[in-house]
Amino acid sequence: MLRYYTRACNFYYGRASKILVKKKRSVPLNGNSEISFDQVELISRKSKKIFFINSLVNLPKFQRKKILVDLKKITSKKKNFANLNFLKLPNIMGVLNLTPDSFSDGGKFNNKKSGIKKAFEMFKSGANIIDVGGESTRPGSKGVNEKLEWKRINEILKSTCKKIPISLDTRKSQIMKKGIKLGIKIINDVSGLKYDLETINVIKKYKIPFIVQHSLGLPENMQNNPRYKNELLDIYDFFEQKIKFLRSIGIKHNNIILDPGIGFGKNLKHNMNLISNISIFHSLGFPILVGNSRKRFIKELSGKNDTKRRIGGTTASSLFLMMQGVQILRIHDVDEILQGVKVFKELINN
């Protein structure tokens, strides 16, 4: 039987959204009247069609039932955790790479003094949580051993974890355990809990919130001609299967975030399809995180207008993602992106 997927679409934001929700002409995302939608796209691997929510009664029974089940997940309120507020869009995860070779800021903050200063600066600027990592996972990078990774992040975690919310960007179970004991709030494993099989047991034992990211292959080979049957639906299926597996082994809490992994085993076509249709992942029922900051797709789209920090492209894509209801943006330039968000919100509500 043909499988269908539901994507919320035709979003409204701010004052216009509140008015439409009050008139019952649009439906709030996650119970948040500041962002709502009045259409859904019903997608299969063979077709796609958009419907107004108030016209679903005219659909065949099995299609209508599928959409109504998904709408319940899309509209349900999300419980806040780890200093993230899902009635406030967007939440910002500030990026702190404590590595010499990260793709855009390698070597810039990989000493104790500069790293701690940067973490507090981003939090003070408005980041909800700071994502600390000691191993570069940029395309083409090679892994580092556990001892070196911990050496890079140990002192900075000790100086920050008790004072500001910290997310730990690591693929290794032993690093996770040590970070949890210091007080980190979220585990961010870019491998989708596949790199180190023991990470599953750490997540289960400590009941800690975590991010499931999709990636194809390893950083050293993930950009070598990545292929999908349908990247959007393949990644949706990956998340659905991963959550089903996690539930089956006893991980029952809902403090889970989904990250489609822009640039992790994806070419420009894959990335653009994912970003353009990102709202499909709302029907899985979990908050969405996107790491769009300074990514290669900005260079590929902007051509001769590419810049080192890619603030223009990051701001543009951040506003687009916010308007699709993405709850968390993983950002390097916190001040600049929040500046853009604040100005945009004032203009749209004026």
Q: What DSSP string describes 222-237? A: TTSS---SSHHHHHHH
- By annotation, the residues acting in catalysis are 295, 330
What span, in angstroms and rounded, lies between the C-alpha atoms of 88 and 118? Answer: 24
Query: pLDDT tens digits for the chain (350 residues)?
Result: 789 999 999 999 999 999 999 999 999 999 999 999 999 999 999 999 999 999 999 899 999 999 999 999 999 999 999 999 999 999 999 999 988 754 454 445 556 888 999 999 999 999 999 999 999 877 766 778 999 999 999 999 999 999 999 999 999 999 999 999 999 999 999 999 999 999 999 999 999 999 999 998 777 766 888 999 999 999 999 999 999 999 999 999 999 999 999 999 999 999 999 999 999 999 999 999 999 999 999 999 999 999 999 999 999 999 999 999 999 999 999 999 999 999 999 999 98
Q: What's the Cα-to-Cα distance from 343 to each of 62, 93, 348, rounded to whole Å? A: 44, 19, 9
Amino acid at 73: K
Amino acid at 45: R
What span, in angstroms and rounded, lies between the C-alpha atoms of 205 and 192? Answer: 17
Three-state secondary structure call for residue 349: helix
Phi, psi (rounded to 5 degrees) for 263 = 85, -5
Q: Which domains does the chain have, with CATH numbers?
A: 5-75 (no CATH), 91-349 (3.20.20.20)
Q: What's the Cα-to-Cα distance from 202 to each of 17, 128, 179, 180, rounded to whole Å? A: 41, 24, 11, 9
pLDDT at site 108: 52
pLDDT at site 138: 74
Q: Are strands 27-29 and 210-213 parallel, antiparallel or unpaired?
A: unpaired
pLDDT at site 204: 96
Q: Which residues are bridge partners to 42 per DSSP?
A: 6, 49
